[in-house]
Structure 1
Amino acid sequence: MKKTAIFTGTLIMSLLAGQTAFASSYTVQKGDTLWNISNQYHTTVETLMQMNGLTSDLIFPGQTLKVSEKEDTYVVKKGDTLSEIANQFHITVDSLLQMNPGISDPNFIKEGQIVYLVKQVSSSTQSTVPSSANGYYIVKEGDTLSGIAAKFQTTIRSLLALNPQIANPNLIRAGQSIKVAGQPVSVAEQNQAVSSSTAKNEQPQKVSYSDEKVSADPVQNNTKPTTLSLADKIIQIGEKYLGAKYLYGASPSRTDAFDCSSFTMRVFSEAGIALPRSSSAQAQVGTPISISQLQKGDLLFFDTDFNGTINHVGIYAGGGQMLNATTSKGVTYVSINMAYWQERFVKAVRVLN
């Protein structure tokens, strides 16, 4: 009887929590666990249980969970430091940096700057979590390899290593099964994961790193590569450094660590184009263009501190994706359609002829 009473009490408290409007809440989806929700919101299972009055890790689809005791953002006050803000809201500096990729120097924040305290998780992001635990993803209409990589927080090269059956990275089809986690497998093993029902009568669709055609990687197959445009070459060079760590003020001669402008400077220099060292200086070269005119290889500039000064730069890779060096993940792809980047966008510049 005691166990039944505890369970009933927990269920009632959970339901009541789901009816309360919180500054930050999450609606449980089928297949969710407290562990994956805690990872999404940079917290712990124990903290989620405390905030929601749970005495077990039992949750159910449709239940609304409180995931934060605080507001979503914090406005920096005079004298604040990132570590003090982290302590105030019971999170870590690393978590703040992950939630605020525009903070170029963790030791330098400004009065009036907006700091995100909760990870922005959109419904589209939630829906891309694999429904099964086997580490495979079924390609949908309109998917691109770069888009799938972004969904699962990995890189295109990692996906190609996990999927040797992909002979041409520009060509995947709806219904195709792609391995998105685990260790690299053989073509024979990978083919076993593809359902015959989805493999039949499917028309292949053209898919590239960035929704635009690029040449096949000769290392992955025997297809003769086509001639790369200068813009494609820029992206290919940039992808060579995917995963390199972030280091504020990194020397332009370093290739193991970058800040945003040393990365763009390095990539363009390898393509024979000289750029100034800082993002604000790079914003003064080339031809300004509107966001609607963006092409692969254009430079995008941002004011992440909302103080009127450009302090971040990235390379447009097509398909709404930007290749850049961020404080949280180093050299990586991000979507410029995220609210964070849209709010901070200043200008775009074309430096390629």
Structure 2
Amino acid sequence: MKKLFAGFALSMSLFCSISVGSAFAETPLSSAVNAGLGAPYKYAGTTLKGFDCSGYTAWVFNKLGVALPHTSKGQAHEGVWVDKENLRPGDLVFFDTSGGAGISHVGVFVGDGKFYHSADQGVTISKLSESYYAKRYVTARRVLSDDQYDQFMTDTK
């Protein structure tokens, strides 16, 4: 039963936490990304009433005290480059969804090959391996220092 519940919790909000045995614990980072899950899409939106992709990522990181520009291209210049194979929760992932126009979409990587982002259906969870995103992946940036990462991945209880 514990495994079934843990699997359900993981599928519902994948990144809601770090694994502690078969239980899950909320962290500041997981709380920040989950707080916007399900919010509608709104062009230039920056609030729970509606987000565009970079508005959502800026909002998430603002909750953690990290300021980001409100454009995906601007966010792609923050932090340091990280190889796709070395992604960790909290890294920003960037895509070209405009057909060769360069970076035009951003999301927050949450682990297990998944990321949160705001798209036409609102704030949702997608897989980097989905054909649409796999073909359009451009780069990733790490905007949290190791110390911040450790702080924001610590159980809030």
TM-score range, shorter chain: 0.7 to 0.9
Partner of 1:215: 25
Instruction: State which of 63, 88, 91 in structure 2 corresponds to 1:298.
Output: 91
Partner of 2:148: none
Partner of 1:241: 36
Partner of 1:145: 9
For 1:206, give the aligned amino acid: S
Question: CA 1:169–1:299 in 2, change beyond 3 Å: closer, same or farther?
Answer: closer
Question: CA 1:206–1:284 in 2, change beyond 3 Å: closer, same or farther?
Answer: same
For 2:71, give the aligned amino acid: S
Paired residue total: 141
Partner of 2:152: none
Partner of 1:267: 60
Question: CA 1:144–1:348 in 2, change beyond 3 Å: closer, same or farther?
Answer: farther
Question: CA 1:291–1:350 in 2, change beyond 3 Å: closer, same or farther?
Answer: same
Could you tell me the TM-score, scaled by structure 1's length?
Answer: 0.37
What CA distance in whole angstroms lies between the structure 1 residues aligned with 2:102 and 2:128? 19
SS at match of 2:25: coil
Partner of 1:206: 22
Structure 2 unaligned residues grouped into runs of 5+: 146-157
Deviations 1:301-325 (A, max 9, x none): 0001221411100000111110111
Question: CA 1:239–1:346 in 2, change beyond 3 Å: closer, same or farther?
Answer: same
What CA distance in whole angstroms lies between the structure 2 residues aligned with 1:239 and 1:273? 17
- Calculate percent identity across the aligned residue pairs: 31
Q: Given the alignment of the two structures, is residue 345 of structure 1 paired with residue 155 of structure 2, yes or no?
A: no
Tell me the CA shift for residue 343 of structure 1.
Answer: 0.3
CA RMSD of aligned residues (A): 2.6
Tell me the CA shift for residue 143 of structure 1.
Answer: 4.5
Instruction: State which of 284, 300, 319 in structure 1 corresponds to 2:112.
Output: 319
SS at match of 1:348: strand
Structure 1 unaligned residues grouped into runs of 5+: 1-137, 150-154, 157-167, 172-204, 208-213, 217-227
Counterpart contact for 1:245–1:331, Cα < 8 Å: yes
Question: CA 1:310–1:339 in 2, change beyond 3 Å: closer, same or farther?
Answer: same
- 1:151-300 counterparts in 2 under 5 A? 206=22, 215-216=25-26, 228=27, 233-250=28-45, 252=46, 254-300=47-93
Counterpart contact for 1:279–1:311, Cα < 8 Å: yes
Partner of 2:128: 336
Deviations 1:285-310 (A, max 9, x none): 11001100000000000001221411
What CA distance in whole angstroms lies between the structure 2 residues aligned with 1:311 and 1:246? 15
Tell me the CA shift for residue 144 of structure 1.
Answer: 6.1
SS at match of 1:325: strand
Bigger relative contact order (CA 8 A; separation at least 6): 2
Tell me the CA shift for residue 255 of structure 1.
Answer: 2.2
Could you tell me the TM-score, scaled by structure 2's length?
Answer: 0.79
Counterpart contact for 1:283–1:301, Cα < 8 Å: yes
Tell me the CA shift for residue 256 of structure 1.
Answer: 1.6
Question: CA 1:255–1:340 in 2, change beyond 3 Å: closer, same or farther?
Answer: same
What CA distance in whole angstroms lies between the structure 1 residues aligned with 2:18 and 2:142? 27
SS at match of 2:36: coil
For 2:10, give the aligned amino acid: S
